[in-house]
Amino acid sequence: MTPLSLPQIRVLFTPAEFLQLHGQDLSCTTCVVFDVLRATSTLLEALYQGAKGIRPAGTIEEALALKQSNPHCLLAGEREGLRITAAQTGGIDFDLGNSPLEFTASVVADREIIMTTTNGTRALSACRGAAEILAASFSNIGALAGYLTLNLPSKLLLICSGTLENASFEDALGAGALVDRLWPLYGNPVKARTDDSAAIARSLFQNHQSSLLDSAGLARNGRRLLALPQLAPDIPLCMDLDRLNLVARLDSDGVLRVIDP
């Protein structure tokens, strides 16, 4: 194996970094997107509860256009953490917000969902053209690690959606959890090329893995959610490691679906 063919792993921490992916050749890259609080946690919960698929939209306008083309779909999403309302859309209240607790089987089973969030769905959209796009949160780290071990990418890019336009503690922590599981494959300097960003994320996770729930209070977005009584109950669900045995991939038709791990 030549140096250029060694498997690579890298973490992008900020929206500025993932927005630079537009126009890049990602055809040999597997992208894994984290928005722990809360978009990817919610998308995974919806699929676990039986949703047929999720259509991520980068903007409210894109979500409304998708709804016109797919009137059977539920509309979900948030701005500033709260469900999108008619005042923001010009007349349509969204069916759901971005709380994983809203996405129960009675609401989403056998339904497709169009979803737009402040950062997470933007990050998924930025990866279009990648060899594979996977959604990640603490809930499915084990399933993802197993899938990636069996389908070892030559280039693995872990994308932290961030908070507004900044890095987020919880996404870096989530990326670090996945790096830690994959370290035997990518961390060996003889067998892989590991970017310092991956080592940084792994070190962060190792320092906080014994108190993941408490670590949410160190995150800007975590503190904001904890201060809102209607959203604070989302935190334990989003920070619960290995709760779901599923892997979700954004397919070429723009729909996120469960795949066999």
Mapped onto helix, strand or coil, the DSSP state of residue 191 is coil
Bond prior to 38 in cis (omega within 30° of 0): yes
Predicted confidence (pLDDT) per residue in 219-229, tens digit: 999 999 999 99
Mean pLDDT of the chain: 94
With 90 as the cut, is the pLDDT of residue 6 above it? no
pLDDT tier for residue 176 given thresholds of 50, 70 and 90: very high
Whether 1 is covered by a domain: the verdict is no
pLDDT tier for residue 260 given thresholds of 50, 70 and 90: confident
What's the total number of domains in the chain? 1
Longest dimension (CA), the chain: 58
Domain residues for the domain of 180 are 7-259
With 50 as the cut, is the pLDDT of residue 251 above it? yes
Q: Could you write out the DSSP letters of every residue in 167-179?
A: --HHHHHHHHHHH
In 3D space, the residue among 47, 39, 34 whose CA is nearest the CA of residue 76 turns out to be: 39
Q: What is the pLDDT of residue 261?
A: 54
Predicted confidence (pLDDT) per residue in 63-112, tens digit: 999 999 999 999 999 998 999 999 999 999 999 999 999 999 999 999 99
Domain of residue 161, CATH code: 3.90.1560.10
What type of residue is 33? V
With 50 as the cut, is the pLDDT of residue 3 above it? no
Whether 15 is covered by a domain: the verdict is yes
Whether 2 is covered by a domain: the verdict is no
Q: Looking at 17-21, 137-141, 183-187, which range is the least confident one?
A: 183-187
Whether 252 is covered by a domain: the verdict is yes
Whether 214 is covered by a domain: the verdict is yes
> Which residue is it, tokens 């992208």?
31
Q: What is the mean pLDDT of residues 135-151?
A: 97
Q: What is the mean pLDDT of residues 250-257?
A: 96
